[in-house]
Structure 1
Amino acid sequence: MNREQRDGIFQQAKEWVLEAGKAIRDKINDPLTVETKSDPNDLVTAMDRDTEYFFITRIKERYPEHFIISEEGYGDELQALEGTVWIIDPIDGTMNFVHQKRNFAISVGIYQDGVGEIGFIYDVMADQLYSARKGEGAYKNDTALLPLDKQKHFQEAILGLNHFWLCDNRLVDEKVMQHLVKTVRGTRTYGSAALEFAAVAEGIMDGYMTMDLAPWDIAAGIVIVNEVGGRTTNAFGKPINLLQKNSVLTCNPAIMDSIVSHYTVKGRK
């Protein structure tokens, strides 16, 4: 993908993201049909499916040679990230969408042969669009995001941690995680992985760690965090596989070694 191609795809994808967000805002107070998927807390609505279908139909019409990985089942079954691949979460933070009617996002990452080229995270109700093109920096609406502070100290960090798994000793060593929480300055949870990535990119949080995310939860965020000098790995510092679920750590590189060594030495590998 050359720069001219990337710029054209970026502008078209941006239009679609904003259009889809407006459609959601226009219908935000309509009656909802809520279903569950893997468990009672794994929610899906007609809006999730309709928004995904909106992207699928437009991508396939405009770019028939492109591939799609998406949450609600309209995408392609891929064994490799070859060619141009759109990785889409139509509503990231569906529980927030259902219960709060805010704090959810549209997430669209576009990859070329496995390399993140374009990322969009759209905080729909706040009308805040985080975007990035590889090598061209990251933006919140039209304002460039600053590079992450390379002098950040671990004890001064604010981390995003999902409280659900934080107390689950099947996933983590509870005492180790308690020590981690006590060591850093504070923890937060937003209920949307995409918005957690956006917060790291903006410097509102210094890192975000969770144990089980799908590619569509993180693909856009990886591109955006990369552009401000952040890093994204699994919880043990290993590369992410965007064809499967992963544990995820995205953060300011200044604190990554402290998190990885703390977790892998004392916690469960």
Structure 2
Amino acid sequence: MDQEKRQSIYLQAKQWVLEAGKTIRSRINDPLTISTKSNPNDLVTTMDDDTEYFFAKNIKQTYPDHLIISEEGYGDELESLDGTIWIIDPIDGTMNFVHQKRNFAISVGVYQDGIGEIGLIYDVMADVLYSAKRGEGAFKNQTRLPQLPEKSFHESILGLNHFWLCENSLVEEKVMQRLVKTVRGTRAYGSAALEFAGVAEGIIDGYMTMDIAPWDIAAGIVIVNEVGGKTTNAFGEQVNMLQKNPVLTCNPSIQTELIEDYMKKGKK
């Protein structure tokens, strides 16, 4: 994708993201219809559906040849990443949205033939937009984010959710316990998009999850790339953007130790 086309799509995507966020804020206290998907804790609301429909409708009207991967059913059935693809999570952190009315984000990534070109993560209630265009740096609102500094593994803070404790976890529990005891601290924010943004900003040094969908991470990968961060699956392999993956995004200075000494050694 050339720079002119990337800029044009970025400006349009940014406009839609901010408009959708404004609508969510205006309706944040409205009654919600809440249902579940794969399990009782996998929530979806009318706001998720309405927001995704807003994006899908506008994308298809404005860019009829573009494709969509999305969470709530308005996307296309894709078997490849050929073409221009919007990868959308209308509300990343739905449980936070329902219970806290904050700490959730709109996540929009635009990919061209499998390459991340544009990433937008909008912390709706804080009115903070993380954004990036490939090769042009990453920003928090209007402030350019610096390249990630060297970081000691023992001084690192990692974003970890609880799924490594589950019976079907891909990693041995004792290895994960050792990891938690070795790093400076761990955090769980409940929104993968905001955890990717935290890695890009340098307020956490890595984020790892054992099972996550492309729409949760597509925008974040683009943004983390632009500050020198690295994103792979949890074992150092390329992320498959057409299916769920165990994913690690982090400061590059801790990547090798985290993967080689913990993830690969602890793999079941």
What range describes the TM-score normalised by the shorter chain of this pair? over 0.9
Alignment of 1:50-89 (within 5 A): 50-89=50-89
Q: Secondary structure at the match of 2:262?
A: helix
**Amino acid corresponding to residue 160 of structure 2 in structure 1:** L
- 1:161 matched to 2:160: yes
Larger CA deviation: 170-179 vs 80-89: 170-179
1:119, 1:74 → 2: CA distance? 20
d(CA) in 1 for partners of 2:122, 2:262: 31
* Secondary structure at the counterpart of residue 186 of structure 2: strand
- Looking at structure 1, the residues matched to 23 and 62 of structure 2 have their Cα atoms a distance apart, in angstroms, of 20
Does the residue aligned with 2:64 lie in a helix, a strand or coil? coil
Task: Tell me whether 1:170 sits opposite 2:198 in the alignment.
Answer: no
Q: 1:228 offset after TM fit, Å?
A: 0.2
Residue 2 of structure 1 and its aligned partner are, at CA, apart by 1.1
Q: Distance in 2 between matches of 1:14 and 1:244?
A: 26
CA contact (8 A) 2:151 2:254 kept: yes
Q: 1:268: how far off?
A: 1.6
Amino acid at match of 2:84: T
Question: What per-residue deviation string (whole Å, max 9, x for no partner) do you get for residues 79-137 of structure 1?
Answer: 10011000000000000000000000000000000000000000000000000000000
Query: Unaligned regions of 5+ residues in structure 2, if any?
Result: none
Q: 1:262 Cα shift?
A: 1.9
Q: Shift of the alpha carbon at 1:168?
A: 2.0
2:50 partner amino acid: D
Q: Equivalent residues in 2 for 1:1-269 (5 A)?
A: 1-149=1-149, 151-163=150-162, 165-171=163-169, 172-269=171-268
What secondary structure, in the 3-state scheme, does the structure 2 residue paired with 1:135 have? Answer: coil
CA distance in 2 between counterparts of 1:113 and 1:130 reads 23
Q: Flag as ranges the 4+ runs of structure 1 deviating above 6 A.
A: none
TM-score with structure 2 setting the length: 0.98
TM-score, normalised by the number of residues in structure 1: 0.98
What letter matches 1:166 in structure 2?
W
% identity of equivalent residues = 73
Q: Deviations over 1:123-164 (max 9, x none)?
A: 000000000000000000000001001x2110000000002x
1:132 is paired with a residue of what secondary structure?
strand
Deviation at 1:17, TM superposition (A): 0.1
Task: State the Cα distance separating 1:169 from its structure 2 match.
Answer: 4.1
> Mind listing any 5+ residue stretches in structure 1 that lack a counterpart?
none
C-alpha RMSD of the superposition: 0.8
CA contact (8 A) 2:68 2:85 kept: yes
Q: Is the 8 A contact 1:236 1:263 kept in 2?
A: no
Matched residue pairs, number? 267
